[in-house]
Structure 1
Amino acid sequence: MPRSKRTWSRLRRAAVVGSATLTVVAAPSAALAADNLPPLKPLVQDLGTGGKACGTGAERPYVSEAPRLTAVLYDPESDDGPVEGNLVQGDFEAWWTGADGAEQRRTYTSYTSDSGREQSWRMPDDVPPGTVVSWRVRANDGEAVSAWSSEDGGSVCEFVIDDENPEEPVVSSAEFPEDSWTSPVGEYGTFTVDSPSDDVVKYRYSYIGGGYKTVSPKEPGGPAAIRFLPVDIGPETLSVQAIDHSGRISGTVNYRFYVTDGRAPAARWNLADPAGSKSAAAESGPAAEAGTGVTFGAAAPGGTDLKSTASLDGTGHGFLSPGTAATDTRRTFAVGGWVRPAATDAVRTVASQDADGAPGFTLGLRPGSDAAPVWSFKIGGAQVSGGTPETGEWAHVLGLYDAETGLATLYVNGHDVGTPQKATPAEAAGAFQIGRARGAAGYRDRWHGEVGDVRVYDRVVVPEEATELGARTPELKGHWSLENADGGVSPELHGGAPLKLSDGATIRRNVDDGCALDPDCTPATDYALVGDGDLTLDGTTGHAATDEPVVDTGDSFTIGVVVRLADTEPEHPMTVLSQGGEHADAFKVRYDPASHQWQLVVTGSDESGAKETVVGRQESADGGQGAGHRLAVVYDDATDQIKLYVNGYTSADATATFHGAWHSDGGLQVGRGQVDGAWGEYLRGSVDEVHAFSGALDGSDILGLGSGNEPCIC
């Protein structure tokens, strides 16, 4: 009985395993031969030349060396059966016209493989460069062959070997002249790249420290434009290479230029005018007339260059306006300033610009989706929101519209918040407004609170600039070296509030034991932590405190201390530093023996049993030995983050998000904290080098605390 084709297919596979030279297997009978279906004609879309698609004429690919030709070949098993498992090979054929005008032809039969698998032929090295080479393929199952891929509506494939690299490109720019300090931060410009080679299809480029990007000319060998936004002051280099249609790459051209400071604001009002002023003077742009609801001489945010601000009363008279536009809202611009809301219960506008019966943009605050307020920048159908406005808290807000990208971005305290949104602004050629927004029936959404240093830029404010605008330099509020005490009072080094010592709290001074001159002397081991003295607390009543708050716990602050516990296994938690109100600590730093952690604890209100947020780092107690631990607590109101540093370092476990900061009115406590509305957690051990700052120190500044030297916050 004749075998079926499926059975014969298995036999044929076995016959060719391990033998790439076996290309034809005779049919066992005329019946089988009659049953065999010929392979399918290879499709042009299944053919490739050196990894590029098959093409002819203007579409023919260029390659940098003799390519590997590929084809996916199919051999059906029967009219209605699957093709998997059938074996097939490819007959390749290539030809070209040699330099002498004679045709050159090469052929190759590939290894046998399963139907549907890719077959290939690596072209020989004698294929001449710069010559059009044509090729085709057919499928062969050992019993029958398909039509050539070029037949029956198919097409030959062509390629040309290009063995020459393109010439180096030429770079030029009107906005960024080479070797010149004339390129400002925040302003887009264009580089033009061109190549003397007429086969360049793209240019690869990068800047210092950046990855590669590519740009393509409209026509091969033509110029291409590269847009660039400078974001850093200093030297910059654009490196460019030309890539031709075969993938060959030219040498690198390095175009060096220098980036300068960005242009000053197009309009700026410090709003630090004398009390009683009727208008706000402008550093640039026209003066802004003030409504009768504006009071100059209000408080300014600490840690900034501002000396005073303007207070707006939230009524129809609380506004300022120059009476003319400050920016073209259809072009790139940024607007921002320092603000302190007195109310966050409704939409409140910091700045806007009039259009026809509506504002062209608004920057301010609004109720969020969960009724909690958020900062907001709205322009051209886009609204970006984020951050948490707090009554009585300073914030720097800045909205940016980048016409190049079409994106609106919002920065709060120097950090981008929310998600940038695509915007399509319309013309808003009306007057610029501070403290209100135009509506169909008049002005509305009035600001209630302080406003200072309002700036309008007609360029991009880059992220680093936004960070600088929203930065507040930490200020030293106190440094207690705890070297001495007079009448139970240890002074603050700069004449500030002293620490008053209680019973059980003493200043320990190092004693000159004369060992420096006596080789037989046994040196003392109980030296002060830092310098010549420290504060020793008995763990029962001993503590030291100021009469008034040292830092504003509702705003950013940093407290640092050096501490050494007297016990290896303390019997209860011990508080090193705290500051709070009548019933609770706004913050405290303590050692918790149950978890073997130094902990930072912050509370959400001045109430007994108030909700606590706790972060900590695992450490062993000192047991009266060693140099102690350098601790620092940092609260950053700009990011709503609290951090505990131990010996100069923090971690994810020692960091948390905290939104409940409140203004405590109690003094700074050293060596005790509140427990259920009463004093407790007294420290048994030694304390030294207490530092207090308004503002959040960064990690590099934290490393310098506790050394005994005056810290430099630069």
Structure 2
Amino acid sequence: MTRHRRMVVAGCVGALLATASGTAYAMDNLPPEQPLVQDLQSEQEPCATADETPYVSQVPRLSAKLYDPEADNQPSEYSSVTAEFEAWWTDTAGAEQRRTYTSITLSSGSNFYWRMPDDVPANTVVSWRVRADDGKATSPWSDEDEGSVCSFVVDDVSPEKATISSPEYPEDVLWVDGVGVYGTFTMDSPSDDVVSYRYNFTGGPYGTAEAESPGAAATLSYLPLMDGPNTLTVRAIDRSGRSSGESRYRFYVKSGRAPVARWKLDDPAGSRTAAAETGTAASAGTGVTFGGSAPSGTGASATASFDGSGHGFLTTGAPAVDIRKSFAASAWVRPAETGRAMTVVSQDADGKPGFTLGLRSGDGGPAWSFAIGGEQVSGGAPETGEWAHLLGLYDAETGRSHLYVNGAEVGVPAEVSPAEAPGAFQVGRARGAAGYRDRWHGDIGDVQVHDRVVVPDEVAELALRKPKLLGHWSMSDAVDGATPEQSGGAPLRLGPGASVYRIPEGSCLPEADPDCEPVPLPLVGEGHLSLDGETGYAATDGPVVDTADSFTLGVVVRLAESAPAHPMTVLSQAGEHTDAFKVRYEPSTRTWQLVMPVKDEAGAPEKVVSWVKGADGGVGQGHRLAVVYDDGADTIKLYLDGQTNTDATTTLSDGWHSEGALQIGRAKAGDGWGEYLHGDVDEVQAYAGALRSGVGGLGWESEPCLC
């Protein structure tokens, strides 16, 4: 019977008194309600008995929530009750022991507690019940009628430590394969009441492995993400929640094993075979041309071009990997078109591909794709003529497929069940019911196949395009009106109103001579560029970075004014009609801004990211600004003093190529120049490629000096 129904019945059996308002109140006292089983607990464990009797780690506190119907039928009066608890058990001599307790008086609906006496024995079933007393009547006991007795057992012994074993990663064996290869670890305590194991691998989160039954062992699967020594720490937990001592299992993980098949595709022009670094050499169709250019900043020296025809393919005549087990396939690719489905790599099954990695086209536009087991993961935005690194991964342990583009996971992992694909491995095409289809048009390089999980750090390393230093101008001196590039590259030529500041010869140091007249120090190193804000600038003879591709620029700048009257640009590189980018200070919003127009047109829409920061007023060490355009990730970021944030980051899907020179201290304004900077500039650095850590590669970690 529910509480609501009991209250209705109780309200009907009492004599009623009608008031002028029409409200009826009970004239006779109504007994408290029978406690409900769901309102009873033994130290936070729900009321249960027999096979469901809970085990607790100490003599428990019993709790019950009790109600008196008068609290609802007579709202103007205070209704209070006490709890009468009763507990019993059979001692070792076979005699029944009983204990009782009456609580303090509390209002109806309160929780009532009894901390059990210390003589409650361990490892013995203790039963209990409770009823409510309002001073005039008592409720039925909680175990009467449809109720139930509650039981508990006090467990005062902690479980024994667990033993740990692993067939894949035996303890203290140097070294065992390896990153990306799952291992199973079995934990087993001699105690017969252990129900779970709390565990932790070095550097990872804590987890819990459940035993199938009390006293049973538990086995977990673990994927090493990095090489080196690793430790598994385990505690056995019994049914009362008691923990064993800590067990430690030390094992040593090798680095991830090499791919089972790899074709660098750097074969000489005119070759009809693609040599295999590992695996089986691949024969080439006549639509494949070797000796193509490779993505910059990678280890690849050349690639192969596929013409998209029926002759544009590479095939091994044999499978590269068992796709029913964990595997990964990857390659550098550059599509010559994106308007149709195209395959980078696949492996033949019966009249269809066992898997395909490539490009799909649909209503939502082109996307990269990894299809296996009838399911597909897709994401990213392929662009004609743009390099991308693709990696498709099937993890047999989790049953999921994943797709990575340029080192980052895209799309939603799919639950898959791959079938056997015993046919040949293909590059540039996929098997269909009536021959091959979805032929690749474009370039492919460095195809790799692994027979294991390739972990995220390895994916990022495979996709890394190491930035190339294009120029570093330290502004330490000027020769014939130009400040040299450190490696002998193109200098920055100084315009009128620009000069290199150095500490005057003969200057002394105040810390060495108290009477010394202090002189300003350069921003960094031995000198910096000073600009007058009217005509001062420095520029190269031509473009430095390819603004259509990934690039990184860094600069140290200090404004001479605390409240400039107009925007001041520190770095820019122009196209025909506007700047491809400019980094400037905008006084109206007190922000440093990176501005990148989406096309080379006057008044074109602009992508703007910014940092709120006041002007320097000619004092301090200035600010370290860095611009990072990642064409692969379609993002631009502005770093200020080593930091970036969401306001300083946005998307830019397609940068455009500019032919203008790199400008220091001014920006394009109509048919001329403007936004001249008044202040000091130092340590200009330019890279092809996006530095991974933003300004980390510029040597600006915390010290003002650049490496």
TM-score, scaled to structure 2: 0.88
Is 1:174 the counterpart of 2:167? The answer is yes
211, 232, 250: which one aligns with 2:205: 211
CA distance in 1, matches of 2:429, 2:516: 76
Match of 2:20 in 1: none
1:700 to 687, 693, 696: 696
Deviation of 1:261 after TM superposition, in Å, equals 0.4
Which residue of 2 is the match for residue 48 of structure 1?
41
Shift of 1:184: 0.8
Question: Match for residue 340 of structure 1?
Answer: 334
TM-superposed CA distance for 1:85, in Å, is: 8.0
Q: Is the 8 A contact 2:573 2:580 kept in 1?
A: yes
Give the SS at the match of 1:701: helix
Contact 1:477/1:551, CA 8 A, preserved across alignment: yes
Aligned-partner Cα distance in 1 for 2:250–2:112: 49
Partner of 1:282, secondary structure, is: coil
Q: Which amino acid aligns with 2:593?
A: Q
C-alpha distance in structure 2 between counterparts of 1:519 and 1:112, whole Å: 84
1:160 is aligned to 153
User: Aligned letter for 2:369?
Assistant: S
What is the CA–CA distance in structure 2 between the aligned matches of 1:218 and 1:377, rounded to whole Å? 37
Per the alignment, residue 265 of structure 2 pairs with 271
Give 1:555's aligned amino acid.
Answer: D
- Per the TM alignment, residue 504 of structure 1 is displaced from its structure 2 partner at its CA by 4.5
Query: Which structure 2 residues correspond to residues 445-464 of structure 1 after superposition, within 5 A?
Result: 445-464=438-457
What is the distance in 1 between the residues matched to 2:626 and 2:352? 49
Per the alignment, do residues 76 and 349 of structure 1 end up closer, same or farther by CA in structure 2, a change over 3 Å counting?
A: same
Task: Tell me which residue corresponds to 1:432.
Answer: 425
Partner residue in 2 for 1:650 = 644
**Structure 1 residues 41 and 516, CA gap change in structure 2 (3 angstroms):** closer
Read off the aligned partner of 1:254 and give its amino acid letter.
Answer: R
Partner of 1:98: 91
Provide the residue aligned with 1:392 in structure 2.
Answer: 385
**Residues 436 and 101 of structure 1: CA distance in aligned 2, closer, same or farther (over 3 Å):** same
Q: Which residue of 2 aligns with 1:23?
A: none
| 1:528–1:66 Cα change, 3 Å | closer
Spell out, residue by residue over 1:521-557, the C-alpha distance to the aligned partner (whole angstroms, 9 max, x if none).
8647466544444444454544333333222212221
Q: How does 1:100-119 map to 2 (within 5 A)?
A: 100-113=93-106, 117-119=110-112
Between 501-510 and 234-243, the greater mean CA deviation after superposition: 501-510
**C-alpha distance in structure 1 between counterparts of 2:69 and 2:509, whole Å:** 100
Letter in 1 for 2:567: P
Partner SS state of residue 460, structure 2: helix
Q: Secondary structure at the match of 1:256?
A: strand
Tell whether 2:346 aligns with 1:352. yes
- Contact 1:548 1:667 (8 Å CA) reproduced: yes
CA distance in 2, matches of 1:319, 1:239: 51
**Counterpart position of 1:132:** 125
Aligned to 2:7: none
* Equivalent runs, 1:249-648 vs 2, <5 Å: 249-367=243-361, 369-371=363-365, 373-508=366-501, 510-513=503-506, 515=508, 523=517, 525=519, 528-648=522-642
Q: Give the counterpart letter for 2:316 in structure 1.
A: P
Flag the 1:129–1:534 CA change in 2: closer, same or farther, 3 A.
closer
CA distance in 1, matches of 2:674, 2:638: 21
Distance (whole Å) between structure 2 residues aligned to residue 405 and residue 145 of structure 1: 58
- Counterpart residue identity of residue 194, structure 1: D
Aligned residues of 1:481 and 1:708 also touching (Cα < 8 A):
no
Deviation (angstroms), 1:359: 2.2
Work out which of the residue numbers 175, 187, 196 in structure 2 matches 1:193. 187
Alpha-carbon distance between aligned partners in 2 of 1:387 and 1:407, rounded to the nearest angstrom: 19
TM normalised by structure 1 equals: 0.87
* Cα drift, residue 104 of structure 1: 1.5
Aligned to 1:615, the other structure's residue is in SS state strand
Structure 1 residues 382, 524: closer, same or farther in 2, change over 3 A? same
More moved, 94-103 vs 362-371: 362-371
Counterpart for residue 240 of structure 1: 234
| C-alpha deviation, 1:415, in angstroms | 1.2
In 2, the alpha carbon distance for the partners of 1:499 and 1:383 equals: 51
Q: Write the distance in 2 (CA, Å) between the matches of 1:531 and 1:133.
A: 80
Q: Which runs of 5+ in 2 are unaligned?
A: 1-9, 15-25
Contact 1:171 1:193 in 2 (8 A): yes
Equivalent AA in structure 2 for residue 662 of structure 1 = W
C-alpha contact 1:557 1:635 (8 A) present in aligned 2: yes
8 Å CA contact retained: 1:185, 1:233: yes
Deviation sequence 1:2-51 (CA, Å, 0-9, x none): xxx98999xxxxxxxxxxxxxxxxxxxxxx99x66655555545543332
Q: Does structure 2 retain, via aligned residues, the 8 Å contact 1:280–1:290?
A: yes
Report if the CA contact (8 A) 1:514-1:521 is conserved.
no
Query: CA 1:526 to 1:323, structure 2 compared with 1: closer, same or farther past 3 Å?
Result: same
Contact 1:509 1:533 in 2 (8 A): yes
Secondary structure, in 3 states, of the residue corresponding to 1:247?
A: coil
CA-atom RMSD in angstroms: 3.4
The code of the aligned residue for 1:400 comes to L
**Deviations for 1:267-318, whole angstroms, at most 9, x for unmatched residues?**
1111111111112111211112222111111111111111111111222222
2:22 corresponding residue in structure 1: none
> Aligned partners of 2:667, 2:44: CA distance in 1, in Å?
72
Is the Cα contact below 8 Å between 1:408 and 1:420 reproduced in 2? yes
- Residue 71 and residue 564 in structure 1: after superposition, are their counterparts in 2 closer, same or farther (change >3 A)? closer
In structure 1, give the amino acid aligned to 2:697.
D
Gaps in structure 1 of 5+ consecutive residues:
10-31
Using the TM superposition, give the Cα deviation of residue 627 of structure 1 relative to its aligned residue in structure 2, in angstroms: 4.2
Q: Which residue of 1 aligns with 2:21?
A: none
Which of 61, 64, 78 is matched with 2:57 structurally?
Answer: 64
Deviations 1:396-444 (A, max 9, x none): 1111111211222211111112222222322222222222222333322
Indicate the larger mover: 289-298 or 621-630. 621-630
Shift of 1:195: 0.9
Mark the CA change 1:138 to 1:501 in structure 2 (over 3 Å): closer, same or farther: closer
SS class of match (2:697)? helix
Residue 525 of structure 2 contacts residue 705 of structure 2 at CA under 8 Å; is this kept in 1?
no
* Cα distance change of structure 1 residues 79 and 593 upon mapping to structure 2, 3 Å threshold: closer
CA contact (8 A) 2:503 2:519 kept: no
- Equivalent-residue separation in structure 1 for 2:194 and 2:607 (angstroms): 62
What does residue 23 of structure 2 align with? none
Over 3 Å counting, the alpha-carbon distance change for 1:149 and 1:627 in structure 2 is closer
Matching residue of 1:123: 116
Instruction: State whether structure 2 residue 670 is matched by structure 1 residue 669.
Output: no
Moved more, 264-273 or 646-655: 646-655
Which one-letter code corresponds to 1:311 in the other structure?
S
State the alpha-carbon separation in 2 of the partners of residues 644 and 379 from structure 1: 39
